[in-house]
Amino acid sequence: MRDKQFKLPLIPSTKVGLICCFLLAMGFSSLLGQDSSAVPESNQLPRIFFDCEGRTCRLGNELRIQIPWVTWVRDQSDADLHVIATSSTTGSGGTGMQVDYIGLGSFSDYLDQMQFFTSPTDTSREWTDSGVHTLGIGLARFADVAGYRGIVSLIGATGNESLASERVVSREEVEDPWNLWVFRLNTSGDFDGESSRETLRTNGSFNASKVTPTWKHNFRVSVNSNRIEQELTDGTFKDTRVDWSVNQYSAFALTDHWSIGTRFESRRMERYNQKIRFELTPAIQYSVFPYPEATRRAFTFSYLVGPAYREYFEETIWGKLEETRWEQAAELEFSQRQTWGDASLEAKASHFLHDIDRHNVSLSANADIRITRGLNLNLRANASWVDDQIWLPGEGITDEEALLNLQAQATDYRYGFDIGLSFQFGSIFNNVVNNRFRGTEGFSSRGR
């Protein structure tokens, strides 16, 4: 089988998004181009199952267009290689993506991993090109090891110096006038309505953050305004409210498994009858798995304790206009992405120290499980037992506030459950991308 021509998107040499260690470990700087018309039959190509989450799923169509020298299959059981892509936000506000390559069937001993990072100023096109480039290099490595050497060729670099402009540099090697601090300003507005209703929402925020291997700092200020006019049978109901918040937290890494931190919060929340609230909460956290593995699996236990001062708009059901109460909380979080699917579990419990009967316990679980070939199970569940609403107004709320959900109401519990099954069968191949009539809607979607 002769070499084919395929070209991955090029990444500018000034971009430090692609981690150098993977490139240097390969000893390759680029892939030869490949003409998709010259690609062999699909049964002669490695079969790849792409497993994505969130933003990484945007790469799906682009991969099928840019990398035609593999066969993209829709079911894991048909694949030679399971590719799991996970993403996370970096300290600068950019994106880091980790790609795990897990061999299946006769290639079950194959394991590989690659990463790339992008800047927060990168466009969607630049992010996509970086992702496709990284994934393509990993697939080429698998093709070479698995014996598919005839479908793609790799050109070796002349030396490490040719990659100097693409490797990741450390803080000690550059002069950073910002000392790793990143600042962000956001503002938005939303106005919509119809003949009997109008709403106007405006939001603004300022965020400052700094992330190092040892420290993590974040400071955020936000203001939200919400105005609503609603025609009712007995007149027009109008409501305008402005809420704000100031949040700051810092975390310090003790070891690969232990962290300590502190959190300060001040906010105004009219929905919860709180004119102002101040809260200071020290915390400690233990991670069963090392923190660097968090993109694929995480299992943490946290403990928080601290005082909170509240001043209320209206006198509460306990006859208070202001009060300071100490609270403590314990949290458990578990999540993982494996070849069989995704699963996460979160449990939280808290209570006031002056009265342990005033408590709140919540559980939430999510799972996307591949039961068998083509059959997937989706589960979403949450439940809360609530007995800590010390801020409830003594005079209750109006009918308008209840109908428009403007004010929180007394409750003993909250719950939600969602279950779904999907079964897909037919052709196992899905390399074709067809964008015709994309986004076209029928008449029913226009309110007719």
Both tokens of 220, joined, read: 């955020």
pLDDT digits (tens, 9 = 90+) for 88-144: 777 666 778 888 899 988 888 899 988 888 777 677 777 778 888 888 888 888 888
* Pick from 179-188, 322-331, 358-367, 381-390: least confident: 179-188
CA-based nearest residue to 227, from 240, 237, 242: 240
Confidence of residue 67 (pLDDT cuts 50, 70, 90): confident
All structural domains of the chain, each given as residue ranges with its CATH number in brackets, are 20-157 (3.40.50), 176-423 (2.40.160)
Query: What span, in angstroms and rounded, lies between the C-alpha atoms of 289 and 281?
Result: 25
pLDDT for res 307? 96
Residue range 374-390: average pLDDT?
A: 91
Measured between its terminal Cα atoms, the distance across the chain in Å is: 57
Q: Any residues with CB less than 8 A from the CB of 345 and at least 6 apart, and which?
A: 332, 333, 334, 335, 363, 364, 365
R_g (Cα) of the chain, nearest Å: 27
Residue range 271-296: average pLDDT?
A: 89
Residue range 56-83: average pLDDT?
A: 81
CA-based nearest residue to 219, from 187, 185, 178, 189: 185
Quick check: 17 pLDDT over 50? Answer: no
Give the global pTM: 0.66
Number of H helices, E strands in the chain: 4, 19
pLDDT for res 365? 94
CA distances to 17, 32, 87, 415 from 127, rounded to whole Å, are 9, 21, 12, 38
pLDDT for res 97? 83
Residue range 181-194: average pLDDT?
A: 91
Confidence of residue 386 (pLDDT cuts 50, 70, 90): very high
% of the chain exceeding 90 in pLDDT: 36
Residue range 65-83: average pLDDT?
A: 84
* Pick from 44-48, 88-92, 372-376: least confident: 88-92
Quick check: 379 pLDDT over 80? Answer: yes
Contact 246, 232 (CB under 8 A): no
Q: Any residues with CB less than 8 A from the CB of 2 and at least 6 apart, and which?
A: 150
Does 423 or 435 have the greater pLDDT score? 423
Query: What span, in angstroms and rounded, lies between the C-alpha atoms of 281 and 381?
Result: 28
pLDDT for res 434? 57
Does 167 or 188 have the greater pLDDT score? 188
pLDDT for res 276? 95
Quick check: 438 pLDDT over 70? Answer: no
CA-based nearest residue to 134, from 45, 74, 67: 67
Q: What is the DSSP letter of 381?
A: E
Residue range 342-361: average pLDDT?
A: 92
Residue range 250-260: average pLDDT?
A: 93
Both tokens of 251, joined, read: 């975390």
Helix (H, G, I), strand (E, B) or coil at 414: strand
Contact 302, 291 (CB under 8 A): no
CA distances to 207, 219, 284 from 246, rounded to whole Å, are 10, 8, 22
Confidence of residue 171 (pLDDT cuts 50, 70, 90): low
* pLDDT, the chain, mean: 79
* Pick from 14-23, 60-69, 327-336, 359-368: least confident: 14-23
pLDDT for res 439? 57
Confidence of residue 15 (pLDDT cuts 50, 70, 90): very low
The DSSP secondary structure of 1-41, one letter per residue, reads: -PPP-B-PPP--TT---B-HHHHHHHTEEEE--B-GGG---
Quick check: 297 pLDDT over 90? Answer: no
